[in-house]
Each structure stands twice: as structure tokens, then as C-alpha cells.
Amino acid sequence: TAYEIPKRDWSSDVCSSDLPARERLEAVDRDLVEVAGRVARHLDVDASELAAAWRRAPLQRQLVVFAALSQLGVPYRLHADEPGTALDCSALTKYAWAWGDLALARGSAAQAAGASRVAADDVQPGDLGWYPGHVFMSLGVERAIVQARSGDRGVEVHLVDEDRADWVRWYDPTS
């Protein structure tokens, strides 16, 4: 089943110009911790490790990860590129990285070809995981990903299957 992150009315608190900058940053951090906790519980990973990975990531990568997470539950449809309605795997990563001001190509192989290979130990939030015919995004902790999955499933958070972990090639689309 799809995992959803509750929607939030940012205009009322975090983005309010009436709120001092320090309080806005504290509110953003509370939300980051809340979302990391929900995702971590779903994946059975360490919430503090996930939140720490997101905090260490540059703002660009944080935006990209949260853009991808905003699409949780959106149905998968081959060749679809309609955020909020239907996506395939490369449309999800393309959409998310657009929030980081980076234009990715369509197609899993094209996205991998346009990025630089990174070692599995050096993967950061937002890096692309690829194996023939599929692309997905790292959440920043070992094997935790967000992906648009084919079949009757949609965008979801997931752990890369251990038997497929050796097949995955990781790529940094920013380099």
C-alpha cells in the first residue's frame, strides 16, 4: 500500500513573514524530523540516521528528496510524466530534480548516462540508483529509496532488495 506523508499548510507558520527566521528554521527542522520518523518507521530504519542524512545534505538535495516524497501514492503508468496524476520511474526523478534546478533527461538509461558514477558507500540523498530498465532515488541511508514502481503500485518508499543491491549502480546527477 502507498505510504502518505500528511499535507501541511506551510503558509500559516513556516513561511509566515511574521515569524522570526530562527523560529521558521526550528519549525522546518521539526517537520524534517517528523517526516524522517514516519518514513523510517515504514522502512524499519533508524529515524535519527535518516534525519541526520537529510540535515547534512545541501539544500538542493533536501528539496529534491522532499519533492519526490510529495509524490508518494501517485500511480505508476509507463511513459507518464504528470506529477500528482501518474508517473513512471524516470519522470519521478526528473520531477524531483527539477525542484533542485537540474533538468534530467527522460528514461532511466539516459539519466544514468548523464550523471557521474558514485560508490555505494558515498551515496547522498537524491542520488540516482539504476539498473537496466529502472531508476530511483536514494533517501540517504543504506538501501532506503523512493521510487515509482511498475504494476499496480505507485510512488513509494522502499528498501532495495538485498538480492538486487549488487546490481544497483549509483549516480550523482549534479556532476
For 138-160, the pLDDT digits (tens) are 999 989 999 998 777 899 999 99
Residue 62 · residue 54 · CB < 8 Å: yes
Residue 21 neighbours by CB under 8 Å, 6+ apart = none
Q: Is the pLDDT score of 30 beyond 60?
A: yes
For 113-140, the pLDDT digits (tens) are 999 999 999 999 999 999 999 999 999 9
Q: Which residues of 121-141 are buried (b: 16+ CB within 10 A; e: fewer)?
A: eebbbbbbbbeeebbbbbbbb
The pLDDT score that the predictor gives to residue 27 is 82
Residue 143 · residue 120 · CB < 8 Å: no
Alpha helices in 45-113 (DSSP H): 47-56, 59-69, 89-98, 108-113
For 37-65, the pLDDT digits (tens) are 999 999 999 999 999 999 999 999 999 99
Q: Is the pLDDT score of 9 beyond 70?
A: no
Mean pLDDT of the chain: 89
Q: Is the pLDDT score of 15 beyond 90?
A: no
The pLDDT score that the predictor gives to residue 8 is 47
The pLDDT score that the predictor gives to residue 17 is 56
